[in-house]
Amino acid sequence: MIGRKDFPIGIVLFIIFIIVLGAVYLFYLADSLMFTNGELTTFLSFSLNSIVMWIDVFLIILSLIIIPYGFVKRKNWARLYAFVFLSWSILRTIVYIAMTGEKLIGFLLLVLFVISMMYLLSSPVKRYFRRISEAIVPVEILKEYTYGLYTLYTELVRLKNGKNQIIYFFSKRKPKSGTPTTLPDGFQVEISKRSGLPYLKKETI
């Protein structure tokens, strides 16, 4: 698995935003049902308002479970659910503004939801959720390539720019990381004049 050293700060902030939003909404709803507005009867009845309130509660509870877990585990279905949740939240905020006329809180939430959705569409988030297998070449299926006393190994590394790249290297002993592999197509073995070690070079046509 890919390490957590490149865990984007934006993902952390997004998870915190969802948790805070969910906690505040559930507290506000509980206060409205039990104390302030006495809407418990409406909540328990079968009406359009109660259905919308139940959907709100259902999506909020799911978001508190799915988004923190799925985002930490890099599950793309959690990102897809976040789109559904944010889309519903944007729709509910627009309805809230239209019905109550409360523009300050409404527009603030609307901006936060739109920014969050745009962030989920950004390239760093897409790379974060992209699952790349490090099992590049199964040793059981393909025979490893050897050159004299050296064995060819391959490894998937993360570059500073966030991209992943497959590298090849020779080693006499088993390295700490890397998988024995065959000679890749389009490459030939050369010997370094400086160190005398073998390395791969692209074949010239």
Rounded mean pLDDT for each run of 10 residues along the chain, 205 residues in total: 60 93 82 61 69 85 94 91 93 86 86 93 86 46 82 90 89 90 90 91 79
pLDDT of residue 82: 95
| Coil, strand or helix at 103 | helix
Q: What is the DSSP letter of 33?
A: I
For 166, counting Cβ atoms within 10 Å of its Cβ (0-12 exposed, 13-18 middle, 19+ buried), the class is middle
| Alpha-carbon span 153 to 16, nearest angstrom | 41
Give the number of other CB atoms < 10 A from CB of residue 112: 16
- Looking at the DSSP bridge assignments, the partners of residue 179 are 154
Q: What is the DSSP letter of 147?
A: E
Q: Which of 90, 91, 64 is nearest to 78 (CA)?
A: 64
pLDDT of residue 111: 93
- Per residue in 168-200, pLDDT tens? 999 999 888 889 999 988 889 999 988 889 999
pTM over 0.75: no
- The residue whose two tokens read 């390295």 is 175
| Coil, strand or helix at 164 | strand
| Alpha-carbon span 157 to 136, nearest angstrom | 12
pLDDT of residue 6: 56
